A and B are shown apart, each in its own frame.
Chain A
Amino acid sequence: MKILVTVKRVPDPETTIRVKPDGSGIVTDNIKYVINPFDEIAIEEALRIKEKLGGSEVVLASIGTKVVTEQLRTGLAMGADRALLVLCDQELDSLAVSRILAKLVERESPQLVLMGKQAIDDDANQAGQMLAAVLDWPQATFASQVQLAADQASVQVLREVDGGLETIGFSLPGIITADLRLNEPRYASLPGIMKARKKEIKEIPVAELGVDITPRLKIHKMDPPVKKIGGKKVETVQQLLDLLHTEAKVI
C-alpha cells in the first residue's frame, strides 16, 4: 500500500511566540521549527501500517522553501521512504495547499492520504477537508483509531467528536486526519538519522504543477493572546455561587 503523509513546518510549540509590533506576523528570528505535531502522529500511523502490512511505501509531501528539508529529513529518519517538496516561497491559504496536494496525489496515486487534523501555527483545520473535496474522496477527520480491513480495500476510523466517539468506514482511496490520541510518535532514531541522509527528497517547483494559488484569504492583523489574569480564591461555596451569578454571570 502506498501512503502519502503531509508535513508542515511550524514553530516549535515549546518556543515563546512573539507578535511583531505592527501585527503583520510573528517574530521569526531565533525560532526553532519542527514538524507539525499532528503531522508527526500521521507519519507514525503510516509507519505502523507499513510495518504491519509489509511491502508498503510511505511518501512524505510538503510545500515551502528549501528550509523544509529539515523537517522532511526528520520524517525520513522516523522511517518514511522518500519525500516530495513543492518549492514555493509564497504564503498559501488552505485552498491553495489542498490544490497543490491534489496534484501530488494525482502523480503518486496513493491508496491513503494521512494528514494532521490541523497545523498548530494557524489552526485552520481545513486542508484535509478541502483536499477530500478537490479529489472527491471520502474522508475521516479527527481519527483516534485506524483499522484497515484485511483486504486493504477499506478502512474503519474511530473519530473523536463532540459528545463521544463515532466509527465510520469508507473504501479506499481516502483521507484520514490524525487527532492527538491516535498514537505516540516514535523518536527519529539514530540509525534512522544515518539512513535518512541517503533517502530522496524530490523538489518540484510549484509552477510545474499548474495550479491556481492566488490567495483568497488575507491576514489583516495578528494580536498576541490576552494575558491570563490570575484566579480568585473564595471561602465558601455560597460565595462561589454568588460570584458565578453576579460577577461571571454564568449561572
Chain B
Amino acid sequence: MDFELLEEQRMLQDTVRRFVRQELLPLEALVLQRDTQGLTGEELLPAEVEERLLAKAKDAGLWGLDVPEEFGGLNLGALPKCLATEELYKTITPFTFPPDAPNLHMLVQTCTPEQRERYLLPYASGAKRSAIAISEPGAGSDPAAMRTTAVKKGDQWVINGRKIWISRAHIADFLIVMALTDKEKRARGGITAFLVDKGTPGLVLQRQIPVIGGHAPWELVFEDLTVPDSQVLGQVGQGFAPMQLRLTVRRLEIGSWCVGHAQRCLEMMVDYAKQRVTFGQRLADRQAIQWFIADSATDIHAARLMTHHGAWKFDQGEDVRQEASMLKVFATEMATRVADRAMQMHGGMGMSKELPLEFMYRRLRPMRIFEGPSEVHRWVIARTLLKD
C-alpha cells in the first residue's frame, strides 16, 4: 500500500493551487459583493472575468483533465481530477476547468459517431455546455418514478412532461433529458436518455427557482417536444445505467468540493484562533476552540482519504457505487460541521457577508440534497449490506 501521490499529481496540485492563489482568491471580494446584490450562479462572476479565467486555464492546459485522449483530453482519471477540484474549492470564486460537468462520462459511454462530433467533442473542448434533466416534481430521490414520457412516432420521439431543479438549463447548449419509454419496465429497461438542443420547439424554460447557496435551477416543461431518432443517447430503454455512472462520478467530485471548502474553513479557524483575544487570552489557548480545530482536522482527513480512495478505485475500473454513497453522506455532513464550527468561533464576523464563511455554509447546504439526499444514500448503503 502506498499513499504517496505521484510526482505529476503533486505538480498538478501545485499548479492548480497557484492558479487559485493568483487568479481566484483575489476575486472573492467581488463574488461576495455580487452575492449580496442577489446575483446567482454564473452571474456571480462577470462574463468578461470568466472569459479571462478560461483563457488562463487553457494556456496552462488545465482543460479536459478527465477527458479521454481520443476526445482531445488528458485522460488523467478521477483521482487527479479530484485533486484539482479540492484546490478549486479552497475559494468561493466559482470556477471549474472545462468541461463543466460529469455528463462527460455518460456521453463517452453512449455517444454514436455522429453524436460524438455534434456533442461530445465540442463539450469536451469546452465549446458547448450541457445540463441534465432527471428530477421531476413527483420524482426526485426516486427517479424511477418519473412521469415524463417519450413516445415513438415514425422515426421521431415526442416527449411530454415536466422536470424541476435543472441546473444551468438556460446556458446549456444541449440537455440530456431522461424520459420513460416503457411504463412497466421503468428503471429496468424503460428509461431512455435523449439529447435535446437548446431552442428545440416544445422545450419550455418555465421558471427559475432561487435556491440557497447561489444556485438557481429551472423548472422545465416539455410540450410535444419532438426529436429525431438520432437524438436517442445510448440504447432505447437503457438510459439508467449510464446516468448512474454519471451520478457516481459527481458524488466523488462532491467529496472534493467538501474537502476543499472544509480545508479553507480550517485554515481560517487556525489563523483566527491565534489572533483573536477574549478575556485576556487567545482563542487558540481555549480547549473549546482547540476541539473545534482538532475535530475539523480529523473530519477533513477522513473525508480526504475517502475521496482519494474512491477516485483511485474508480480509476482501477471498479464499481464504487457503495463508496460514492458513503463519501457523499460523510463529506457533505462533515463540511457542514466544519463550516458551522468555523462560523461559531468567528463570532459576529462568522455571520457576516464580509468573510467567505457564510457563503461556504450556504453553498454546502444543498449538497446534502442534490445527487441524492443523505437519507437515501444511508438507506442504499444499508440495503446493500443487508441484502440476503
Please report A residues at the B interface, Cβ cutoff 8 Å. 14, 34, 70, 73-74, 77, 186-194, 196-197
Q: A187 to B18, Cβ gap below 8 A?
A: yes
B65→A187 contact, CB < 8 A: no
* Mask: chain B, 55-97; 1 = CB below 8 Å from A; 0 = not: 0000111110100000000100000000000000000000000
How far apart are the CA atoms of A114 and B249 in the complex, in Å? 45
**Chain A contacts for B10, CB-based, 8 A:** 70
Query: Which residues of chain B are near A34, meaning CB under 8 Å?
Result: 14
B12 contact from A14, A70, A186, A193, Cβ within 8 A: A193
Q: Report the 6 A-B pairs with minimum CB-CB distance, sorted nearest first.
A: A190-B61, A189-B61, A187-B60, A191-B61, A193-B11, A189-B60
CB pair A194–B8 under 8 Å, yes or no, is yes
Q: Is the CB of B7 within 8 A of A190?
A: no
- Determine the chain A residues whose CB is within 8 A of the CB of B63 once the complex forms: 190
By a CB distance below 8 angstroms, the chain A residues around B7 are 70, 73, 197
Q: Which residues on B sit within 8 Å (CB–CB) of A187?
A: 15, 18-19, 59-60, 62
A190–B59 Cα distance when bound, in Å, is 9
Indicate with 1 or 0, residue by residue over B30-70, a CB within 8 angstroms of chain A CB atoms: 00000000000000000000000000000111110100000
Is B21 close to A, CB under 8 A?
Answer: yes
A188, B14: Cα distance in complex, Å: 9
Tell me which of A74, A186, A190, A197 contacts B62 (CB under 8 A).
A190
Residues of B within 8 A of A73 (CB): 7, 11
Closest residue on chain B to residue A34 by CB atoms: B14
Query: What are 18 contact pairs spanning A and B, CB under 8 A?
Result: A14-B21, A73-B7, A73-B11, A74-B11, A186-B59, A187-B15, A187-B19, A188-B11, A188-B14, A188-B60, A189-B60, A190-B61, A190-B62, A191-B61, A192-B61, A193-B8, A193-B12, A197-B7
Give the interface centre of A34, A73, A188, A197 by most chain B CB atoms within 10 Å.
A188
Q: How far in angstroms is the closest Cβ of chain B from A36?
A: 15
Q: B74 to A190, Cβ gap below 8 A?
A: yes
Task: Contacts A190-B74, A191-B74 given; indicate if A197 touches B60 (C-beta within 8 A).
Answer: no
Contact with A along B1-30 (1 / 0, CB 8 A): 000000110111011001101000000000
Q: How close is A181's CB to chain B, nearest CB, in angstroms? A: 16
Most chain A beta-carbon contacts within 10 A, residue among B8, B11, B21: B11
Asked if A186 and B11 sit within 8 Å, CB to CB, the answer is no
A191–B8 Cα distance when bound, in Å, is 10
Residues of A within 8 A of B59 (CB): 186-187, 189
* Contacting residues, chain B, for A77 (C-beta < 8 A): 11
CA distance A188 to B15 in the complex (A): 6
Q: Which residues of B contact A191 (CB under 8 A)?
A: 61, 74
A184 CB to closest chain B CB (Å) equals: 9
B18 CB contacts on chain A under 8 angstroms: 187
In the complex formed, the residue of A with least CB distance to B11 is A193
Q: Within 8 Å CB of A194, what residues of B?
A: 8, 74
Report Cα–Cα, A196/B18, bound state, in Å: 18
Chain A nearest CB from B307 CB (Å) reads 20
- Measured in the bound complex, the distance between the Cα atoms of B275 and A141 in whole Å is 40
Q: Which partner residue on chain A sits nearest B63 by CB separation?
A: A190
How long is the Cα–Cα vector from A193 to B15 in the complex, in angstroms?
A: 10
Inter-chain pairs besides A14-B21, A73-B11, 7 sampled, C-beta below 8 Å: A187-B15, A188-B15, A190-B63, A191-B61, A194-B8, A194-B74, A196-B8
Pick from B14, B19, B60: contact of A74, CB under 8 Å: B14
Query: Which residues of the partner chain B approach A14 to less than 8 Å between Cβ atoms?
Result: 21
Whole-angstrom distance between the alpha carbons of A69 and B63 in the complex? 26
Q: How far is the CA of A197 from the CA of B19 in the complex (A)?
A: 21
Q: How far is the CA of A193 from the CA of B10 in the complex (A)?
A: 10
Q: A14 to B20: give the CA distance in the assembly, Å.
A: 13
Residues from chain A with Cβ under 8 Å of B61 in the complex: 189-192
Most buried by B among A14, A73, A186, A189: A189
Complex Cα–Cα for A194 and B21 (A): 23
Residue of A nearest to B18 (CB): A187
On chain B, the residues within 8 Å of A192 by CB distance are: 61
How far is A192 from B65 in the complex, measured between Cα atoms in Å? 13
In the assembled complex, the CB of B58 is this many whole angstroms from the nearest CB of chain A, namely 10
A-side contacts of B65, CB under 8 Å: 190
Say whether B60 contacts A190, CB under 8 Å: yes
Complexed CA–CA distance, A197 and B74 (Å): 15
Output the least CB separation between A81 and chain B (Å): 17
Measured between beta carbons, the chain B residues less than 8 angstroms from A197 are 7-8
Which A-chain residue is minimally distant from B64 (CB atoms)?
A190
Which residues from chain B contact A186 at a C-beta distance below 8 Å?
A: 59-60
Closest B residue to A191 using CB positions: B61
The docked-state distance in angstroms from the alpha carbon of A234 to that of B8 is 54
User: A77 to B19, alpha carbons, bound, how many Å?
Assistant: 15
Q: For A73, A187, A194, which residue has the most chain B Cβ atoms within 10 angstroms? A: A187
Look across to chain B and name the residue whose beta carbon is closest to the beta carbon of A14: B21
Known contacts A70-B7, A73-B7, A197-B7; A190 and B12 CB within 8 A of each other: yes
